[in-house]
Amino acid sequence: MNQRLFPFAVAAALSLATAWAVETRTWSQNEQADYEKAILKGVSLRSDGRLALAPAVTELFDAATPYLWAIVRDSKGTLYAAGGGTGGSTVKIFRAGADRKGTPWAELEGLEIHALAIDKQDRLYAATLPDGKVWRIGADAKPAVFYDPKARYIWALTFNAQGDLFVATGDQGEIHRVRPDGQGTVFFKLDEAHARAMAFDHKGHLVVGTEPGGVILRVAPTGAGFVLYQTAKREVTALMATPDGRVIAAAVGNKGAIQAPMVMALPPAPPPPSGQAAGQAPRPAAPAPLPLGPPASQVQGGSEVIELDADGAPRKLWIHPQEVVYALAIDPQGKVILGAGNKGSIYRLDSPVLSTLLATTPATQVTGFAGGGSDGLFAATGNVGKVFAVGPGLEKQGTIESDVFDAGTFSYWGRLNDDATLSGGAIRFETRSGNLDRPQKNWSAWAPLKDGRLTSPPARFLQWKATFTPGTADGGAAPELGGVDIAWMAKNLAPRVEQVEATPANYRFPQNSITLNLTPSITLAPLGKSRRSSAPSLSLDTGSSSSMSYAKGTGGARWLATDDNGDALNFKVEIKGVTESTWKLIKDRVREKQINFDLTAHPDGEYIIRVTANDQPDNPPAQALEALAQSPSFLIDNTPPVIEDLSAQPAGGRVQLRFKAKDALNWISKAEYSINGVEWLALEPANKLSDSRELAYELLLDRPQPGELTIAVRVTDEFDNQATAKIVVR
């Protein structure tokens, strides 16, 4: 991000940190990860998040076959491509001359072709499978078997400086050396099942990549082998050597996976016809189906690209957890080009720390490269099998559609700031908005900016699009984009107070600290749930708002309140009697969702509590909003019950105790008695149940000793108000 945008981004970060709802916030996109879900058309993406016009990708021809696995170019510039996957008994080779219009050129017996090569006389060689043979095709497009390695797979073909053809095979892991006359022998036997890729280095040594060990080894002209490097992957899919002595290799797949090399499973070939035309190569019997491996879409573990310097020291150039690299090339600037799947991607390695998603083809896999000179690069693809020209010029236009931004609530859009380098080109920005989580016809239309500001209507979701155009018709002076910042502000929404509840009398919410509570406590049920009575208990109070400690004369209230903007809230708590008209303030600017208050400050009666929430802490006063709710009515009772008609009469050596207890507002919850000031003992009412505001009590007591007795009685109502009385019996 350039210096002009940096302070703006810092301010945005600070605003997000404070989370002020109506403060201006910023949606910033300037990193590669920001564009993972973006739609790029004709735009390249560098790993540091920089966007630019991509090289022009032009379809040259459609081979009408599922896969093209190999492509080569002769000295005259003629292209040859081949693959397979149609399920027939023959496979075609396609040729494109100077007009770049590809046409079927030769047809061979077999199911697939994975390797092509050109000799110094511009003769084409093709390797078929599953009955692996090497064919030579003359200028008249007539094929003839050049060499039979007696192998099931042939993965690669390459010539040395002397004109000998080297054939990399599978199943037995052999490399054959074939002289120009077609006579060949085993040149090197691997300890691996498959020789997957080959290239000659600047000293004339053969470099080989293997499967399943993912080994890169060097074989001297004498046939002596030496392992250069063992990759962390299972299969070396592509390999090339540079004139300055480096070796570049691509390896894919987890080593724990059990699979054959990456090819598509094909049905067995049908039986051969009874006859054949004159001049055609002999047609072998239909081979048995081979256990070919899974498609690349099932390859697990991604890819890594390794560079070995002239001394053999390894260095990892590129790692990707999903992409599967099939092909390597070098561009005119000496940078490594990768062909990958399963998104049809072409990457360029710009430096040891930077890479660029250069272009994307409409096909699923980029399987091979040819060329790479001043007239551009040619790519073969799979699923579907096509040939594309990549470059040398840039696309005449490119676009990026961003991922959808979710503001979380209805919002207003402000200015778009960009970190762009135009260099004579242009970048046009448009936006659209909506209230569905994906763009559909019910979103607003794409709208241009006006003086740098968005004109899309306020909504919850937003998307931006940038259109790149070069400064000249030949693609020169191309613009680049480093990042986009869009200012936005959520519409302030009123908070909600969903429920208010007065808590049981004579209990208080604790301080927000851990203390050993040695007084009786209760645990409240969640708001909205029915309260079940339980005996007071001793507890370790952790400051939870659902735990309350005993405190005679103290009451409390709690409430549920939310704010869709995530604003901090202040609360005002008020109280009034149900027959009163004026609310009395208990406390203002409460930040918690609970409060304690003094019950004894209010006369006995029925009351209501009101809680008003406002979001002023996070909003200017003029834009702050509020909401309120009130509790169901509840009682305040500070007056103890009354004990009446207390009497104690001797009765045959015993004492008959009688009295009545009544309370104006609440049920009598319990009664007790004590003789001569000893312990208090429970006393049940005459009807056995403490179920009303007025109860009668009777008890026949044994006289513990002769002489005078002092009998005390105590009654308690539901608000823990107590009354006591005594009587003396002589």
Q: How confident is the model at residue 262 (pLDDT cuts 50, 70, 90)?
A: low
Q: Which helix (H) or strand (E) holds 434?
A: strand 426-434
pLDDT of residue 656: 93
Instruction: Note whether 80-259+297-332 and 496-636 share their fold.
Output: no
Superfamily of domain 496-636: Immunoglobulins (2.60.40.10)
Output the average pLDDT for the chain.
87
- Give percent of the chain above pLDDT 90: 74
Domain boundaries, the chain: 6-54+397-490, 80-259+297-332, 496-636, 642-729
Cα–Cα distance measured from residue 596 to residue 324, given in angstroms and rounded to the nearest whole number: 65
Dist. CA 106–CA 126, nearest whole Å: 10
Say if residue 278's pLDDT is above 50. Answer: no
Q: What are the tens digits of pLDDT across the range 467-503?
A: 999 987 555 578 999 999 999 999 998 999 999 999 9
DSSP 108-121: EESSEEEEEEE-TT
Q: Is 444 exposed, middle or buried (0-12, 13-18, 19+ CB in 10 A)?
A: middle
405/408 Cα distance (integer angstroms): 9
**Does residue 425 register a pLDDT over 70?**
yes
Q: How far is CA 451 from the centre of its chain?
A: 35
Please tell me the number of Cα atoms within 13 Å of 516 on its side-chain side: 1
Average pLDDT of the segment spanning 331-351: 94
Q: Domain 6-54+397-490 belongs to what architecture?
A: Sandwich (2.60)
* CATH 2.120.10.30, domain 80-259+297-332, yes or no: yes
3-state secondary structure of 265: coil
Q: Tell me the backbone φ, ψ of residue 117, rounded to 5 degrees.
A: -150, 155
pTM of model > 0.85: no
Greater confidence (276 vs 129) lies with: 129
Distances in Å between the Cα of 321 and the Cα atoms of 295, 358, 505 are 17, 18, 62
Give residue 475's pLDDT: 52
pLDDT at 8: 37
More confident residue, 608 or 423: 608
Q: 3.40.718.10, 2.60.40.650, 3.40.50.170, 1.10.3720.10: which CATH number matches 642-729? A: 2.60.40.650
Average pLDDT over residues 38-62: 95
pLDDT band at 294 (very low <50, low <70, confident <90, very high): very low
Residue with tokens 């001797």: 650
- What is the pLDDT, as a whole number, of residue 528? 56
Q: Which pLDDT tens digit goes with each residue over 390-415?
A: 998 899 999 999 999 999 889 999 99
Residue 423 pLDDT greater than 80, yes or no: no
What's the pLDDT score for residue 512?
61
220-248 pLDDT, tens digit per residue, is 999 999 999 999 999 999 999 999 999 99
Confidence grade of residue 261 (pLDDT, cut at 50, 70, 90): low
Structure tokens at 322: 């999903």
d(CA 513, CA 81): 76
